[in-house]
């Protein structure tokens, strides 16, 4: 049995934040029915770096976020589609959408109306800024939120700033926040029998992830300093040059600093007044780094990684994305699954990365073709073959 087995989720989301949320729920065993526009479906179906897949409406961006889901097409401008949607609402546990505020209300499906049909339904709305406030109706993409959240302002160094995070961090964090909130609401419903409305803002979601950096300003009154690959909490902690490349070292504890000095053959630094204590090391990191790198450049990265980790000084290589995806630890943890996908062949997608000993999740089904499950779902609602054909002719589905 999987953790969310028996839970039905109506997924009206597009592109990333919403689909990322429902992906995790699907991997946990929920039946996720992706409701898509009959013409084109989720925009992500056309997004990716493989044109042939985009033309098949199975772009890499879509494939990455939609394993274990079903696809039902509905044109909600038709009364017949609205009737089907109402029937689904009455048989579902959760509805997730990431339209701009007000869109569902204009379609006649505000939370107030939906909750009359199914008071136990959990309704999760994901948007850039939330459902209320002065910016609620502004359009938002990940990079817009990265800029407005302060993320871009704290990245990089004096030579490269502002700097965006290299992947859509605000979208994905917004999706994770939504999944977490939905799970909490399901737990509350188990105890009370009541559904509720959840308002997820991408801007709200990303802000707490800057916890320590924000706390230094909110509590300590100190603005962030651009430090590139250095860690502001300790020194030496960051990226350093070696003979053949770079290494990350995090000697965050005093004993790790002492061990690093001994390993590099620089025991005198332990008593050097510039570097003796954490705060003085941080203040003098620009003087400390060249001293350490002079020694580190004598040998290759792998030598230092093995030697430092063996002595308890955290260190690691800086891998390319390809190397990172293929490293033995990731394989051991089964973080990536291979699944046969009709019309494409085998593809690699991420698995559920939380490991449960009783209710573990897995990739059981490939991302769906557009409208792949429409007949199956409508038949489960009692529609006959003739009625389904008629709906297709009218372009309702």
Q: What is the pTM of this model?
A: 0.93
CB atoms within 10 A of CB 397: 23
Mean pLDDT, residues 301-311 taken together: 97
Active site residues: 171
Average pLDDT, the chain: 96
Q: Would you say 309 and 300 are in contact if contact means Cβ atoms under 8 Å apart?
A: no
For residue 276, give Cα distances in angstroms to 260, 264, 314.
13, 16, 19
Mean pLDDT, residues 85-104 taken together: 96
Contacts of 98 (CB under 8 A, 6+ apart): 12, 13, 14, 15, 17, 18, 125, 126, 127
Could you tell me the pLDDT band of residue 341, with boundaries at 50, 70 and 90? very high
Q: What is the DSSP string of 75-141?
A: -TTSHHHHHHHHHHHHT-SEEEE-PPTTHHHHTT--HHHHHHH-TT-EEEEEESS-SSSTTTTS---
Percent helix, strand and coil across the chain, each to the nearest 5: 45, 15, 45
pLDDT tens for 167-202 read: 999 999 999 999 999 999 999 999 999 999 999 999
List domains and CATH numbers for the chain. 8-209+331-393 (3.40.50.10540), 237-319 (3.30.1540.10)
Is the pLDDT at 295 greater than 90? The verdict is yes
- Bridge partners, 127 (sequence order): 201
Is the pLDDT at 232 greater than 90? The verdict is no
Distance CA 335, CA 330 (A): 6
Could you tell me the pLDDT band of residue 79, with boundaries at 50, 70 and 90? very high
Distance CA 106, CA 99 (A): 11
């Amino acid at each position: 049995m999987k953790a969310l087995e028996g839970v039905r989720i109506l997924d009206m989301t597009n592109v990333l934040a919403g689909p990322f949320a429902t992906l995790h729920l699907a991997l946990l065993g929920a039946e996720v029915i992706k409701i898509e526009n009959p013409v084109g479906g989720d925009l992500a179906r056309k997004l990716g770096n493989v044109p042939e897949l985009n033309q098949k409406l199975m772009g890499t961006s879509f494939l990455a976020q939609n394993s274990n889901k079903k696809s039902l097409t509905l044109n909600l401008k038709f009364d017949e589609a609205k009737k089907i949607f109402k029937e689904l609402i009455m048989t579902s546990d959760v509805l997730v959408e990431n339209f701009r505020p007000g869109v569902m209300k204009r379609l006649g499906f505000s939370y107030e109306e939906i909750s009359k049909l199914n008071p136990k339904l959990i309704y999760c709305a994901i948007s850039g800024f939330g459902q209320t406030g002065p910016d609620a109706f502004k359009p938002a993409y990940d990079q817009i939120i990265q800029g407005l959240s302060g993320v871009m302002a704290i990245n990089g160094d004096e030579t490269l700033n502002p700097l965006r995070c290299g992947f859509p961090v605000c979208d994905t964090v917004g999706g994770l926040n939504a999944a977490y909130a939905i799970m909490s609401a399901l737990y509350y419903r188990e105890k009370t029998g009541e559904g509720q409305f959840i308002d997820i803002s991408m801007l709200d979601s990303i802000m707490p992830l800057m916890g320590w950096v924000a706390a230094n300003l909110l509590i300590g009154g100190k603005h962030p300093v651009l430090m590139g690959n250095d860690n502001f909490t300790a020194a030496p902690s960051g990226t350093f040059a070696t003979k053949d490349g770079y290494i990350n070292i995090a000697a965050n504890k005093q004993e790790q600093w002492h061990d690093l000095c001994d390993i590099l053959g620089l025991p005198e630094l332990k008593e050097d007044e510039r570097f003796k204590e954490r705060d003085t090391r941080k203040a003098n990191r620009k003087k400390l780094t060249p001293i350490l790198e002079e020694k580190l450049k004598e040998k290759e990265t792998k030598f230092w990684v093995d030697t430092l980790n063996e002595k308890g000084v955290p260190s690691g290589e800086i891998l390319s994305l390809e190397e990172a995806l293929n490293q033995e630890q990731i394989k051991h943890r089964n973080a990536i699954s291979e699944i046969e996908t009709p019309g494409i062949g085998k593809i690699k997608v991420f698995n559920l990365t939380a490991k449960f000993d009783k209710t573990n999740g897995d990739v059981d089904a490939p991302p769906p073709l557009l409208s792949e499950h429409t007949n199956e779902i409508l038949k489960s609602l009692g529609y006959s073959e003739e009625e389904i054909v008629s709906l297709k002719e009218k372009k309702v589905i």
